[in-house]
Chains A and B, each alone.
Chain A
Amino acid sequence: MSVLDTTPDTMPAGPEIKPKLSRDDIIMRGGMIVIALYLLITLAFPLWAMLSKSFSTYQFDLSQYEFQISDDAGVFDGAILTGTELNARTKVYDTSDLAGSSDSRLGVTKFFPDFSFRSPVHYKIRNSVEGGRFLVGSKLYNTLDWLELDSNNFRRVQLRPVKSTGISNFVSYFSTPALFNSIKNSLLIAAISTVITVSLAFWFAYALNRSCMRFKGVFRLIAMMPILVPSLLPGIALVYLFGNQGMLKGLLFGASIYGPIGIVIGSVFFTFPHAFLIISTALAISDSRLYEAATSLRSTPWRTFWTVTVPGARYGLISATFVVFNLVITDFGLPKVIGGQFNVLAVDIYKQVIGQQNFEMGAVVSVVLVIPAILAFAIDRIVQSKQVALLSARSVPYAPSPNTRTDRIFLVYSSLVALFIVGLLAVCQFAALVKFWPYDLSLSLNNYQFDKMDGGGWGSYFNSIELALLTAVIGTSVVFFGAYLVEKTNGFRVGRSLFQMFAMLPMAIPGMVLGLAYIFFFNSPSNPLNFIYGTMAILVICTVTHFYTVSHLTAVTALKQMDREFEAVASSLKQPTMKLFARVTVPVCLPAILDISIYLFVNAMTTVSAVVFLYSPKTTLASIAVLNMDDAGDIAPAAAMGMMIFYTNAAARILHLFASKGILKRTQAWRTR
Chain B
Amino acid sequence: MKHYDVRTSAVTQPADSGKLYLSIENLWKAFGSFMALKDISLTINEGEFVCFLGPSGCGKTTLLRAIAGLDLQTKGTVKQAGKDISNLPPSERDFGIVFQSYALFPNLTIEKNIAFGLENAGRSKSEITARVTELLNLVGLPDQGKKYPAQLSGGQQQRIALARAIATNPGLLLLDEPLSALDAKVRVHLRHEIKELQRKLGVTTVMVTHDQEEALSMADRIVVMNHGVIEQVGAPTEIYREPSNLFVADFIGEMNQIKSRVADDGSLSIGEKTFACHEHSFRGGDAVVAAIRPEDVIPHEVGYQPGDDNRNCIEVLLHEMEFLGSFWRCRLQNDLFGDTELFADFSINAVRRLDLGEGNNMVIELPVDRLMAFESPEVPA
Contact = CB atoms under 8 A, between A and B. Distances in A.
A588 B106 contact: yes
Given A11-B35, A670-B150, A2 B91 contact: no
Contacts of B175: none
A568 B67 CA distance: 13
B265 interface: no
B245 interface: yes
A647 B105 CA distance: 40
Given A22-B91, A572-B68, A9 B119 contact: no
A178 interface: no
Interface stretch (A12-20, A211-219, A427-435, A626-634): A12-20
B293 interface: no
Interface string B237-253: 00000001111000000
Contacts of A11: 28, 30, 35, 74-75
A109 to B, nearest CB: 72
Interface in B62-93: 68, 70, 72-76, 86-93
Contact of A25 (B30, B89, B93, B377): B89
A575 B97 CA distance: 14
A491 to B, nearest CB: 8
A9 B35 contact: yes
Given A566-B103, A671-B150, A4 B231 contact: yes
A538 B87 CA distance: 44
B192 interface: no
B99 A569 contact: yes
A23 B99 CA distance: 24
A221 interface: no
A565 B174 CA distance: 13
A16 B29 CA distance: 10
Interface in A537-593: 563-566, 568-575, 579, 583-584, 587-588
Contact of A583 (B30, B70, B87, B108): B108
Contacts of B318: none
Contacts of B6: none
A620 B26 CA distance: 67
Interface string A357-395: 000000000000000000000000000000000000000
A7 B247 CA distance: 16
B116 A575 contact: yes
A1 B89 contact: no
Contact of A587 (B38, B92, B107, B244): B107
Contacts of A587: 107
Given A2-B375, A569-B99, A670 B231 contact: no
A9 B36 CA distance: 11
B70 to A, nearest CB: 5
Given A16-B74, A17-B86, A575-B119, A4 B105 contact: no
A559 to B, nearest CB: 14
Interface in B224-243: 229-232
A3 B107 contact: no
Contacts of A9: 35, 38
Contacts, number: 136
Contact of B90 (A3, A564, A572): A572
Given A1-B377, A17-B87, A584-B105, A670 B245 contact: no
A382 to B, nearest CB: 26
Residue from A10, A575, A588 with most neighbouring chain B CB atoms (10 Å):
A575
Which of A1, A4, A9, A671 counts the most B-chain CB atoms under 10 A from its CB? A4
A139 to B, nearest CB: 62
Interface-centre pick from A565, A569, A574 (highest chain B CB count, 10 A): A569
A167 B377 CA distance: 68
A8 interface: yes
A573 B99 contact: no
Nearest to A15: B75
B121 A574 contact: yes
Interface string B43-73: 0000000000000000000000000101011
A31 B97 CA distance: 27
A673 interface: yes
A667 interface: yes
Given A16-B74, A566-B105, A568-B97, A575 B120 contact: yes
Contacts of A672: 150
A673 B70 contact: no
Q: Which of A9, A10, A568, A579 has the most CB of B within 10 A?
A: A568
Interface of B: 2, 26, 28, 30, 35, 38-39, 68, 70, 72-76, 86-93, 95-97, 99, 101, 103, 105-108, 116-117, 119-121, 148-151, 164-165, 167-168, 170, 229-232, 244-247, 374-375, 377-378
Given A568-B90, A571-B91, A572-B95, 19 more contacts: A2-B246, A3-B245, A4-B230, A7-B39, A8-B38, A11-B35, A11-B74, A11-B75, A17-B75, A17-B86, A20-B87, A566-B105, A568-B99, A572-B96, A573-B164, A574-B91, A584-B108, A587-B107, A588-B106
17 contacts: A3-B245, A9-B38, A11-B28, A12-B26, A14-B75, A17-B86, A19-B87, A21-B89, A565-B99, A568-B99, A569-B97, A569-B164, A572-B95, A583-B105, A588-B107, A671-B150, A672-B150
The 3 closest A-B pairs by CB, nearest first: A573-B117, A22-B89, A2-B245
